Amino acid sequence: MKPTPNLTLLEESLSVVFIDKDFLKRALTHKSYVHETKHADFEDNERLEFLGDAVLDLIISEALIVRFPKMAEGELSKMKARIVSEPTLASVSGGISLGQYLFLGKGEEKTEGRGKRSLLSDALEALIAAIFLDQGFSTAREVVLKLFNLHIEELTRQNMLSDYKTALQELCQKEFETLPIYRLASESGPDHQKMFEVIIEIHATCYGRGMGRSKKEAEQRAAQAALAGWHKDPQ
């Protein structure tokens, strides 16, 4: 039988000490545990999951509105959907080793439930709700932003790079009545760690170069370089 997890370690990783430990235990309790053990003191986390989904949605929506004040609603919705998606939630759960703290039934244990993306993402939403109920919105917001910071930063980086290509396209159409042409100049490195170099040509003249771990990133970097040197002589 798996020993009872030390929930104090989870609290330390979250920088939260629960006032009512029952909220924390409930957030970590899968329905399989309740069904198999018929433990009178345990309630599964499905209701908390429902609430946590809404709390997470609000916190991430606010963060994106603040980070991208000029972005249209449609784009904000796409970014939010990516952040609150099951793969992202499971990734965040892995960062705090959430799986090892879960109360699971024997069936889920045998089928490696502690590593299932759906189970981990649901438990994380339940945990967010538990923090909200025990500590209030301010603490829940602080924890969520800390846990999801890297994913928000990644979207910020991608959005900025995407804006370079859009800006360059608009500038080319205005100045030259044409679009920039992106050409792959070189590839280097092993298959699992490729580096790509892309050049931008406008009327057969090179205006920018960029490197990246994907062709798309290299193109974006090249657009950034082209914009930075726009008022200088072509390369």
Specify the range with the lowest mean pLDDT, choosing from 53-67, 161-175, 209-223. 161-175
| Average pLDDT, integer, range 125-143 | 98
pLDDT reported for residue 214: 86
pLDDT of residue 113: 81
- Is the pLDDT at 235 greater than 90? The verdict is no
pLDDT at 234: 46
Residue type, 44: D
Whether residue 69 is predicted with pLDDT greater than 90 in this model: the reply is: no
How does pLDDT run across 159-206, given as a tens digit for each residue? 655 667 888 888 898 888 899 999 999 999 888 778 999 999 998 899
Output the CA torsion 173→174→177→181 (10° steps). -40
pLDDT bin (cut points 50, 70, 90) of residue 227 is confident
Q: Tell me the per-residue pLDDT of 20-44, one tens digit each, with 9 for 90 and over.
A: 999 999 999 999 988 887 766 678 9
Look at the pTM and tell me if it is higher than 0.95.
Answer: no
Domains (ranges, CATH) in the chain?
7-157 (1.10.1520.10), 180-228 (3.30.160.20)
The whole-number pLDDT of residue 3 equals: 63
What is the mean predicted confidence (pLDDT) over 138-158?
89
Enzyme catalytic residues: 53, 125
Q: Most distant CA pair in the chain: distance in Å?
A: 76
Evaluate whether 140 touches 131 at the Cβ level (below 8 Å): yes
Mean pLDDT of the 112-119 span: 89
pLDDT, residue 159, reads: 65
Among 14, 20, 45, CA closest to 30? 45
